[in-house]
Amino acid sequence: MLIKRKSGIEIPSSEITPERLYSTRRQFIRGAGAIAAGSIMAACRPERPPAATVEPAAQTTGGESAGTNEVASAARTDELGDALNTLEDISSYNNYYEFTTDKEGVKGLAKDFKTDPWSIEISGLVNNPGTYDMGDLLTKFDQEERIYRLRCVEAWSMVIPWDGFPLAKLLKEVDPTSNAKYVRFETLADPEQMPGLSSPWYNWPYVEGLTIEEAMNDLTLMATGIYGQSLLPQNGAPVRLVVPWKYGFKSIKSIVKIELTDEQPTSLWMAAAPTEYGFYSNVNPEVNHPRWSQASERRIGEFSRRETLKFNGYEEQVAYLYDGLDLRQNF
Ligand code: MTE
């Protein structure tokens, strides 16, 4: 796995992937995806997090054992010195409304989710539209590890070691035209597999959007793994977006379509509760959610709250994207 220095974020030597993780990842790459509003946003309110640390051997969420990865994670931190969450944390407390709004119920309902074959159709204002299957995505683009903080709009957070590649690399391949201003993403909507789709409260499929400048920022990741193993269904297998300076709901899971457009996409959350969820959704401790404060957060695994950082601590890398924009109005 290639480890790179990214946009001024120092990657300490302690984060360099151990050989075992590297091997696991190579196996996965060879297998190419074989592993396989008020009450409206019911789950988007602060809830009690699960117990934090679980012994490696207790990892039973499917896929490969997390044992060695958990050991490897023990001394690892993000660039701010914050400890990584365990795979147990990351794979047991999830938001994936296509399955259920019960965070601890997602992994059970999603365990047989079919992720192979899988492809992403890229269309719209691009010179080279096309369909990329998982083999393409895993072999065309070097997979690298990125340790990012994930800050949910519900005011909980985790530190997650993702594997993946910058979205910018994929966008350069499809070559957006000069009219392309936004990128629209869509999740699979398969009622046979996703019981949550029967909920009438949401305008399925799950849709999210970014400006093209946000999409091209080097932090914006197409994630294909966590802790050196393929993504688990509950985390958005086989490929999802991760936009670490925005609230977690922008990080759309299990993507099947990407479209370049000249109109701002309306996300599922904007449609469901327009006064609560805007297009930008940048992490901002100065702008509260209408129903709760965003000034602090609960890191899963910690007991006391910690202050929320502007742009989730990535201000240096992304503040330029919003020069001249009123972040209160453009929430
Ligand atoms: N993507 C889809 N398709 N459906 C969802 O319900 N939930 C979002 C985001 N992506 C969601 C989604 C929310 S609210 C959060 S906080 C993150 O996924 C949670 O990611 P995680 O479960 O991997 O921690």
270-303 burial, b at 16+ Cβ within 10 Å, e below that, comes to bebbeebbbbbbbbbbeeebeeeebeebbbbbee
Query: Who lines ligand 1 at CB under 6 A?
Result: 94-98, 150, 152, 187, 206, 235-236, 248-249, 251-254
Atom of ligand 1 nearest to the CA of 106: 22
Among 101, 252, 253, residue to substitute to test ligand 1 (most atoms within 8 Å of Cβ):
253
Closest residue to atom 6 of ligand 1, CA basis:
96
User: Would you place residue 23 in the very low, low, confident or very high pLDDT band (cuts 50, 70, 90)?
Assistant: very low
Closest residue to atom 10 of ligand 1, CA basis:
252
Q: What is the mean pLDDT of residues 73-85?
A: 89
Is 74 or 20 the better-scoring residue by pLDDT?
Answer: 74
On the question of pLDDT at 322 being above 90, the answer is yes
Closest residue to atom 19 of ligand 1, CA basis:
95
Q: Which amino acid is at 79?
A: E
CA 254 to ligand 1 center in whole angstroms: 10
Is 42 or 199 the better-scoring residue by pLDDT?
Answer: 199
User: Would you place residue 75 in the very low, low, confident or very high pLDDT band (cuts 50, 70, 90)?
Assistant: confident
CA 13 to ligand 1 center in whole angstroms: 30
Residue 55: predicted pLDDT: 29
CA 250 to ligand 1 center in whole angstroms: 8
Say which residues have a Cβ less than 8 Å from residue 178's Cβ, sequence separation at least 6: none
Provide, rounded to the nearest whole percent, the portion of the chain with pLDDT above 90: 77
User: Would you place residue 54 in the very low, low, confident or very high pLDDT band (cuts 50, 70, 90)?
Assistant: very low
DSSP 148-173: EEEE-TTSEEEEEEEEEEEHHHHHHH
The dihedral region occupied by 194, where left means phi > 0, alpha psi between -120 and 50, and beta the remainder, is: beta
- Average pLDDT taken over every residue of the chain: 84
Q: How many CB atoms sit inside 10 A of residue 45's CB? A: 14
Say which residues have a Cβ less than 8 Å from residue 212's Cβ, sequence separation at least 6: 171, 176, 180, 181, 182, 183, 260
Closest residue to atom 23 of ligand 1, CA basis:
235
Find how far residue 143's CA is from the centre of its chain: 15
pLDDT, tens digit, for every residue of 216-240? 999 999 999 999 999 999 999 999 9
On the question of pLDDT at 8 being above 50, the answer is no
168 and 218 in contact (C-beta within 8 Å)?
A: yes
Closest residue to atom 9 of ligand 1, CA basis:
249
On the question of pLDDT at 58 being above 70, the answer is no
Distance separating alpha carbons of residues 295 and 305, to the nearest angstrom: 10
User: Would you place residue 254 in the very low, low, confident or very high pLDDT band (cuts 50, 70, 90)?
Assistant: very high
Atom of ligand 1 nearest to the CA of 152: 16
Q: How many CB atoms sit inside 10 A of residue 28's CB? A: 24
62-97 burial, b at 16+ Cβ within 10 Å, e below that, comes to bbbebebbbebbeebebbeebbbbbbbbbbbbbbbb
Q: What is the mean pLDDT of residues 189-206?
A: 97
Number of H helices, E strands in the chain: 9, 12
Residue 48: predicted pLDDT: 38
Among 95, 160, 185, 243, residue to substitute to test ligand 1 (most atoms within 8 Å of Cβ):
95
Residue 64: predicted pLDDT: 35
CA distances from residue 189 to 48, 205, 238, 302 in whole angstroms, order as listed: 29, 5, 14, 35
Distance separating alpha carbons of residues 226 and 25, to the nearest angstrom: 10
User: Would you place residue 286 in the very low, low, confident or very high pLDDT band (cuts 50, 70, 90)?
Assistant: very high
**What distance separates the 2 farthest-apart alpha carbons in the chain?**
52
Is 34 or 218 the better-scoring residue by pLDDT?
Answer: 218
Is the Cα torsion angle 174, 178, 179, 185 positive or negative in sign?
A: positive
230 and 116 in contact (C-beta within 8 Å)?
A: no
Instruction: Indicate the range of 58-62, 80-84, 105-109, 294-298 predicted with least confidence.
Output: 58-62
Distance separating alpha carbons of residues 164 and 219, to the nearest angstrom: 11
**Type and span of the H or E element at 184:** strand 182-187
Q: How many CB atoms sit inside 10 A of residue 121's CB? A: 14
